[in-house]
Amino acid sequence: MKEDFLKSLEADRWIFNADILVDEAHVVMLAEQGILKREEVRAILAALSDLKRQSDEFLEKELPRHEDVHTAIEATLIKRLGEDVGGRMHTARSRNDEVAICIRIALRDELIGVAKALLALRRTLLERASQEIETIMPGYTHLQHAQPTTLAHHLIAHHDAFARDFERICDAFKRVNRSPLGAAALAGTGFPVSRERTATLLGFDGIIENTMDAVSARDFIVEAISCFANVMINASRLAEELILWSSAEFKFVRLPDTLTSGSSIMPQKRNPDFAELVRAKAGTVFGCLTAVLCILKALPFSYNRDLQEATPHLLNAVRTTLSSVEVLTKMLEGCEFIRERMAEEAEKSGTFATEVADTLVRERGIAFRTAHRIVASSVAAAFQPQQQREGTGARTVEEAKEEESMREALRAKMAEFGLSDTAAEEALDVRKNVERRKTRGGPAREEILRALKSREEDLLKDEREVERMEAKIRESLESLEREVEKWMH
């Protein structure tokens, strides 16, 4: 019971591969610095190589017997090589700097994984947007019909939110990818170690200089989970819209059968369970962030065992975020947008009213606030019958009559101000409404085509950045592998 309370097995399994890399880099550095003898180095590196090959058995059988993965690996080497050789691996090192660097190595791989998943989601959003440039739909504020826009415009809005999430992930990576190794317990070590050498071998961009800060800093965990939380905010917004749009009230989208489920009692149901879980899992990630903030609050320098409790929350947050982004990508790849329904709804509830007011301003020089009041009055008068029959249930035919009544009222009002029938019809045409909105970032076709081209260029640049990040780490680890081979033979 007492021993189990100290353990964090899932997190230890997560950082196992990182720990082996750290052990190899540390031993190579100790050899280069003349701190370990060649025969000792050869034996330790050979034992670590065997342990990598037997990792499944080690993680299943050996790891649970020990307090943590670091002591388990060291105990395995001592058992095989004897303490006089196996016990030398830990020279000039503490579990404090060891666990700190292992978490950073594992996390930087996860950050790259999330970044790549965001790239895939962004590409899917742009591909779907390029297919929906002409798809008219209502834009919403307060979940009420507001102005007409296009589905392409709407999807690009989601893309841009995830693009900022990608930027945050890459920015966090810069602070994660700094090495604390060599800080030892808190005050460094009396051995002539090279902290820069192990950082280079492990693909880090540099070291965390102050040794107390190096072993105790977990702000990089807060930053990473904060990034994941922001991803999940945007993911939950997209998921919520897919849930709403797939309902009978909207009928804007049909989700793929593989990402919906049926009911245990109602045979007609197609429940958006996957999207609902994405929406809910945002709360899971927020909870992870809150937990880590509470764990780290007011901890004195330098290392405290409290820090161990932060890692499982980090692991939960990154796995939840990654799976949610991947599910949304699959959902968007396989969904069917129902264009006719979107176009039908775009005509309703006076979405063109703003353009009518703008037309009065442009053509007759009326102050916008005056034009707004004139149009609002006409719209309210047209919808008066709806208020009188509220609750009758007979809405479809009446709504159509009211919509036409509103259009007629606005035509008449524009005629009062001397506007031609052509000008009036253009103001009431939702597609022409959209095409008028050529403001930078607006929904007009010309602007959407520019936006798609611009974002495709940004996406290619971001894909190259991830490739660069991966390549730097890969080249460093390949160099480490060559050094290990050199010292083993």
**DSSP per position, 400-461:** HHHHHHHHHHHHHHHHHTT--HHHHHHHH-HHHHHHH--STT-SSHHHHHHHHHHHHHHHHH
Are both 180 and 312 inside the same structural domain? yes
Are both 222 and 290 inside the same structural domain? yes
Note whether residue 7 is domain-resident. yes
pLDDT at 365 over 60: yes
- CA distances to 337, 413, 432 from 359, rounded to whole Å, are 32, 12, 12
Query: Phi and psi of 270, rounded to 5°?
Result: -130, 90
Note whether residue 273 is domain-resident. yes
Residue 333 CA from chain centroid, whole number: 18
Q: How confident is the model at residue 387 (pLDDT cuts 50, 70, 90)?
A: very low
Please give the Cα distance from 252 to 257 (Å, whole number).
Answer: 16
Are both 277 and 292 inside the same structural domain? yes
pLDDT at 129 over 50: yes
Note whether residue 446 is domain-resident. no
pLDDT at 421 over 80: yes
| Residue 488 three-state SS | helix
User: Residue 349's pLDDT is what?
Assistant: 87
Note whether residue 166 is domain-resident. yes
pLDDT at 468 over 60: yes
Query: Phi and psi of 188, rounded to 5°?
Result: 75, -160
Residue range 109-123: mean pLDDT, rounded: 98
Please give the Cα distance from 138 to 153 (Å, whole number).
Answer: 11
Query: Phi and psi of 144, rounded to 5°?
Result: -115, 150
Q: How confident is the model at residue 399 (pLDDT cuts 50, 70, 90)?
A: confident
**Tens digits of per-residue pLDDT, 31-42?**
999 999 999 999
Note whether residue 13 is domain-resident. yes
- 273-296 and 310-334 helices, crossing angle to 10°: 160
Please give the Cα distance from 366 to 374 (Å, whole number).
Answer: 10
Query: Phi and psi of 166, rounded to 5°?
Result: -60, -45
- Which residues are part of the catalytic machinery? 142, 263
User: Residue 380's pLDDT is what?
Assistant: 85
Please give the Cα distance from 183 to 211 (Å, whole number).
Answer: 5
Residue range 412-437: mean pLDDT, rounded: 94
Are both 305 and 166 inside the same structural domain? yes
Question: Of 73-82, 177-186, 264-273, which gets the smallest average pLDDT?
Answer: 264-273
Lookup: tokens for 438: 């050529």
Note whether residue 482 is domain-resident. no
Name 318's bridge partners.
none
Q: CB neighbours of 269 closer than 8 A, spacing ≥ 6?
A: 262, 263
| Residue 467 three-state SS | helix
**Tens digits of per-residue pLDDT, 147-178?**
999 999 999 999 999 999 999 999 999 999 99
What pTM did the predictor assign?
0.94
Please give the Cα distance from 26 to 19 (Å, whole number).
Answer: 10
User: Residue 438's pLDDT is what?
Assistant: 94
Better-scored residue on pLDDT, 449 or 263: 449
Total number of domains constituting the chain: 3
Question: Of 233-237, 259-263, 449-453, 474-478, which gets the smallest average pLDDT?
Answer: 259-263
Question: Of 42-46, 198-202, 207-211, 269-273, which gets the smallest average pLDDT?
Answer: 269-273
Please give the Cα distance from 12 to 58 (Å, whole number).
Answer: 12
Do the bridges between strand 336-337 and strand 253-254 make them parallel or antiparallel, or are there none, so unpaired?
antiparallel
User: Residue 1's pLDDT is what?
Assistant: 56
User: Residue 103's pLDDT is what?
Assistant: 98
Are both 105 and 80 inside the same structural domain? no
Print the domain residue range for 333. 96-137+149-188+205-338+456-477
Lookup: tokens for 67: 């307090």
Q: Please state, for a pLDDT cut of 70, what percent of the chain lies above it.
A: 96
Please give the Cα distance from 270 to 249 (Å, whole number).
Answer: 14
User: Residue 401's pLDDT is what?
Assistant: 78
User: Residue 393's pLDDT is what?
Assistant: 44
* Burial group, residue 225, by CB count within 10 angstroms (0-12, 13-18, 19+): buried
pLDDT at 329 over 90: yes
Residue range 45-64: mean pLDDT, rounded: 97
Are both 156 and 262 inside the same structural domain? yes
Query: Phi and psi of 146, rounded to 5°?
Result: -120, -75
Are both 34 and 178 inside the same structural domain? no
Are both 323 and 363 inside the same structural domain? no
Note whether residue 435 is domain-resident. no
Are both 244 and 311 inside the same structural domain? yes
Are both 287 and 404 inside the same structural domain? no
pLDDT at 384 over 90: no
User: Residue 216's pLDDT is what?
Assistant: 97
Q: How confident is the model at residue 396 (pLDDT cuts 50, 70, 90)?
A: low
Please give the Cα distance from 82 to 244 (Å, whole number).
Answer: 64
Are both 213 and 133 inside the same structural domain? yes
Q: How confident is the model at residue 61 (pLDDT cuts 50, 70, 90)?
A: very high
pLDDT at 221 over 90: yes
Note whether residue 100 is domain-resident. yes
Q: How confident is the model at residue 268 (pLDDT cuts 50, 70, 90)?
A: confident
Average pLDDT of the chain is 94
Residue 245 belongs to domain with CATH number: 1.20.200.10
Question: Of 11-15, 329-333, 337-341, 418-422, which gets the smallest average pLDDT?
Answer: 418-422
Q: How confident is the model at residue 383 (pLDDT cuts 50, 70, 90)?
A: low
pLDDT at 55 over 90: yes
pLDDT at 16 over 60: yes
Determine the straight-line distance between the first and last CA of the chain, rounded to whole angstroms. Answer: 44
Ordered alpha helix ranges (H), 297-395: 310-334, 339-346, 353-364, 368-382, 384-388
Better-scored residue on pLDDT, 473 or 262: 473
Are both 119 and 254 inside the same structural domain? yes
Which residue in the block uniquely carries the two structure tokens 């992870």?
288
Q: Cα dihedral angle (457, 462, 465, 471), rounded to 10 degrees?
A: -100
Residue 79 belongs to domain with CATH number: 1.10.275.10
Residue range 274-293: mean pLDDT, rounded: 98
